[in-house]
């Protein structure tokens, strides 16, 4: 596979569920994202588990030749079944340390289907971007309409004057993995120097 961003290596932080969900399309999308990361010559940064979509994306990236960095709190090693086959697995003490290290090691962020942990991680890096703590792109892969209701609610927040169009435009959204990764890669190549996440 060749494309305009393949020659520039990037670290993509992927947020996703520790469950696979009910629709088989979610696991297919996670597998596709992991495979694309490897084929593009990128590196995966994620939450370090081997269960659910987390394990699917990590295994696919590894199978496609990518380096995979996992970051997991010690208290979640058993609950999320820390992945023992990664290039690097960092066991940290707190969720705050986990998220900060994942952000520091990444050039862009991508959310796949997931639960409240995925929502929290996405909205946090989105807020950090809005506040100027980083200049890294972030994307939402809307697999089979999973995030349709969320996107509708975000449109409501804009209509009601709580979210500006410039804030909404910081989130890149697509239903297809390859064009979204291409946009993230191109945006990451244009981004400035990483900020100091210890200020957050």
State yes or no: pLDDT of 6 exceeds 70.
no
State yes or no: pLDDT of 3 exceeds 60.
no
Does residue 3 belong to any structural domain of this protein?
no
Does residue 152 belong to any structural domain of this protein?
yes
Assess contact for 30 and 65: CB atoms under 8 A.
Answer: no
State yes or no: pLDDT of 5 exceeds 60.
no
Does residue 76 belong to any structural domain of this protein?
yes
Does residue 199 belong to any structural domain of this protein?
no
Give the pLDDT confidence score for residue 193 in this predicted structure: 52
Give the pLDDT confidence score for residue 190 in this predicted structure: 84
Distance in angstroms (rounded) separating the CA atoms of residues 141 and 118: 12
User: Domain residues for 133?
Assistant: 13-188
Domain CATH for 47: 3.40.50.450
Distance in angstroms (rounded) separating the CA atoms of residues 108 and 183: 10
The four Cα atoms 172, 136, 29, 45 give a dihedral, to 10 degrees, of: -170
Does residue 29 belong to any structural domain of this protein?
yes
Model pLDDT for residues 36-52, shown as the tens digit of each residue: 999 999 999 999 999 99
- Torsion 73-65-44-168 (CA) sign: negative
State yes or no: pLDDT of 129 exceeds 70.
yes
Does residue 200 belong to any structural domain of this protein?
no
Does residue 109 belong to any structural domain of this protein?
yes
Does residue 197 belong to any structural domain of this protein?
no
Distance in angstroms (rounded) separating the CA atoms of residues 41 and 37: 6
Task: Work out the percent of the chain whose per-residue pLDDT is above 70.
Answer: 90
Distance in angstroms (rounded) separating the CA atoms of residues 84 and 71: 12
Model pLDDT for residues 142-197, shown as the tens digit of each residue: 999 999 999 999 999 999 999 999 999 999 999 999 999 999 999 998 885 555 55
Tell me how many domains the chain contains: 1
- Could you tell me which of 31, 92, 22 has the C-alpha nearest to residue 58? 31
Whole-prediction pTM value? Answer: 0.92
Assess contact for 195 and 134: CB atoms under 8 A.
Answer: yes
């Amino acid at each position: 596979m060749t494309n305009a961003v393949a020659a520039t290596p990037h670290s993509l932080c992927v947020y996703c569920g520790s469950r696979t969900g009910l629709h088989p399309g979610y696991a297919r999308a996670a597998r596709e994202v992991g495979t694309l990361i490897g084929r593009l010559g990128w590196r995966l940064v994620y939450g370090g588990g081997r269960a659910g979509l987390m394990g699917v994306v990590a295994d696919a990236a590894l199978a496609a030749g990518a380096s995979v960095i996992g970051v997991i709190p010690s208290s979640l090693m058993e609950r999320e079944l820390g992945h023992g086959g990664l290039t690097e697995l960092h066991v940290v003490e707190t969720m705050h340390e986990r998220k900060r290290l994942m952000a520091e090691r990444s050039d862009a962020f991508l959310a796949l289907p997931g639960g409240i942990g995925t929502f929290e991680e996405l909205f946090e890096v989105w807020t950090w971007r809005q506040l100027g703590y980083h200049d890294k792109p972030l994307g939402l892969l809307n697999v089979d309409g999973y995030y349709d209701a969320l996107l509708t609610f975000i449109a409501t927040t804009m209509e009601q004057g709580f979210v500006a169009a410039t804030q909404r435009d910081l989130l890149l959204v697509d239903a297809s993995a390859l064009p979204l990764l291409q946009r993230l890669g191109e945006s990451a190549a244009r981004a400035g120097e990483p900020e100091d996440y210890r200020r957050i």
